[in-house]
Chain A
């Protein structure tokens, strides 16, 4: 059986990559992908802990999380498409009409 540490390592790596992306990227789609990474790293943790501690709660919770992520992605991309139609770009630095 693969030790738990490896799962945690994988999850933290994914999380860090996602966070790095959030800090550095300006493209809306890339940001969405980074957010997916963050969410899925959390899912890996949930499933891993659930398997090592015989209890299905974590897996159920991961399913909820996936459904949530799908909904979030749907809304997020819809917004991005609307933004693109309006501004012709999805570079978030250029989208600041509501700023002071």
Chain B
């Protein structure tokens, strides 16, 4: 029953968008309640659909669009958990935004754009074909641009919006190239499609992957990965994400932490069979993810802007998710469950952290942690909810982040034993740094002495309510949901006509390696379909019995060690070291990190201003001299000729009369002569 109304999940936010856009000015608080209601209705519908199809059904609706394309809704386990997460988190953020944006003259515009964003993100999630996904993907990018530049009168916000738009565009071009390549390859197979089947539909793609040439698969996978790298802020296209913090904090929470940036991870998860089949496809994913995880974590360590710390942490955690998918080369579809679990958990605690940061900024009126300190005395609720978020992010045992992130590290170890240990090492180091920078932030904001004169008041309940709800999820979600989640997500690709063993052979994942960790409940297809999804997933949930005990303990040690380190440096009660003694201003490493590896200097200073500007200059010259040049020359020629001919128009009537009479005479003479000769 609910499934018939699935389209409303997208349609209602679109309606809210239109209402807010056109009549929002006349409504209280810019019509924010419309956006909340529309998203909340989406949440109710998603829950209804969940109750209908859990645990072993999927919904697939589709109708023709044009030529070889269709529009459709595909809700399988992967899409369903994403739907639930997005509607849930975004509803809470919209509620919070009603408090946060109160009094902003652009509130109606904010809620209109936020509603459009919600609609496009949800449309992206349950698209049943790549083209539709791409369209919503671009819409999401547009909303991101609009919302980052929400305070467009501020030059830095406008610049950040432009940067985000252009940087993600690089990825999107690659993504589109990947789609076109995939379409061509599928079209060349001359498949006999049944009615209602279209080339770019995911089930059709899955079913025919094995027939595409492996080198083409790798190219397609790299193209799609390019899109994911752009959208999910992975190295080297991560530069826009920290700058995107120029938008309102709710935007940062909604778009740049919880939902939009996860679209890239979702894309890789959605196309996991393709990445699995493509030789080196998953290796590239793992490499990008692991490197980004560590790279961004080091930068988070030195930033003074509370939102930038969180932004770097987002980049880093997205790296974890990518790496989690990438190591699927060793553990198969189980990796999708682990990675998406981290995605969901991360969206809870990162949204929580951002909203807490927003609450602090709302009261203190600055982003700079050096001007905060001791805020905890005045904002008890914010302090404790943020503590929960921080513990979760740091991976403290029994918090959500512990279950999700540490599972990624464990499967990365498995990947290490089979293929390469580098991702594992990178991820462990990144986990240490995560714990350190998270608690550096928490301690320097909430403890110690007040370092400047700021507003000392707690935020209103419309803002604190969502914090508390998110804190509950950041605390308990991992513990409660982990096992069912893995098994449910693991069953995702069983709904399709897929043989992971065959794909693994194409992808060069040797068969013995592939079967070896079967105890973890991974090679679904290899075992045949008689095995119950739940049984396998539970086996997978047991923290990989194949690993030695120290590997399973290590993430806990890493998390607690990181927190203790941060404590010794930044908590005034137990402070043992002064950060400035360890690294002075002259320290090259500190300078390097503070400058963000000179990315700004390289990307903007060198790349943008020298290479791009130089190229632009050359193009401009060619455009003016060559393209415009010959056209201008042509028009100058005509004008110059006309300059002489126009002199005929003397303005003296007699001249005209003379011409008239002469003309008649000449005509008469010519016609008479012609008659004489016999021409007429």
Interface residues of A (CB under 8 A from B): 19, 22-24, 26, 31, 92-93, 95-96, 98-100
Contacts and interface: CB of A to CB of B under 8 A. Distances in A.
Q: Which of B649, B654, B661 has the most CB of A within 10 A?
A: B654
Chain B contact-residue range equals 10 to 19
B677 interface: no
Nearest to A96: B651
Contacts of B647: 100
A92 B649 contact: no
B423 to A, nearest CB: 79
Contacts of A98: 651
Contacts of B573: none
Given A22-B654, A23-B658, A99-B651, 11 more contacts: A22-B657, A24-B654, A26-B653, A92-B653, A93-B652, A95-B651, A96-B651, A98-B651, A100-B646, A100-B647, A100-B649
Contact of A31 (B649, B650, B653, B661): B653
A93 B651 CA distance: 7
A95 B652 CA distance: 9
A24 B661 CA distance: 14
Contacts of A96: 651-652
Nearest to A98: B651
Contacts of B652: 92-93, 96
Contacts of A100: 646-647, 649
Interface string B621-651: 0000000000000000000000000110111
B649 A23 contact: no
A23 B654 contact: yes
B174 to A, nearest CB: 58
Interface string B150-169: 00000000000000000000
Contacts of B650: 99
Nearest to B653: A92
Question: Would you list the 7 A-B pairs with minimal beta carbon distance, nearest first?
Answer: A96-B651, A99-B651, A22-B657, A100-B646, A92-B653, A23-B654, A23-B657
Nearest to A21: B657
Nearest to B654: A23
A31 B658 CA distance: 14
15 contacts: A19-B661, A22-B653, A22-B657, A23-B654, A23-B657, A23-B658, A26-B653, A26-B654, A92-B652, A92-B653, A93-B652, A96-B651, A99-B649, A99-B650, A100-B646
Contacts of B654: 22-24, 26
Contacts of A92: 652-653
Contacts of B646: 100
A96 B651 CA distance: 6
A91 to B, nearest CB: 10
Interface in B642-680: 646-647, 649-654, 657-658, 661
Contacts of A26: 653-654
Nearest to B652: A93
Contacts of B661: 19
Contacts of A99: 649-651
Contacts of B651: 95-96, 98-99
A19 B660 CA distance: 11
A26 B661 CA distance: 17
A98 B646 CA distance: 12
Q: Which of A22, A24, A31, A92 has the most CB of B within 10 A?
A: A22
Q: Which of A92, A95, A96, A100 has the most CB of B within 10 A?
A: A100
B663 to A, nearest CB: 14
A100 B657 CA distance: 19
A29 to B, nearest CB: 13
Nearest to A24: B654
Contacts of B658: 23
A45 B653 CA distance: 27
Nearest to B657: A22
A75 B373 CA distance: 90
Q: Which of B647, B652, B653, B658 has the most CB of A within 10 A?
A: B653
A96 B652 CA distance: 8
Contacts of A93: 652
Contacts of A22: 653-654, 657
Contacts of A95: 651
Contacts of B649: 99-100
B639 to A, nearest CB: 13
A82 B126 CA distance: 74
Nearest to A31: B653
Nearest to B647: A100
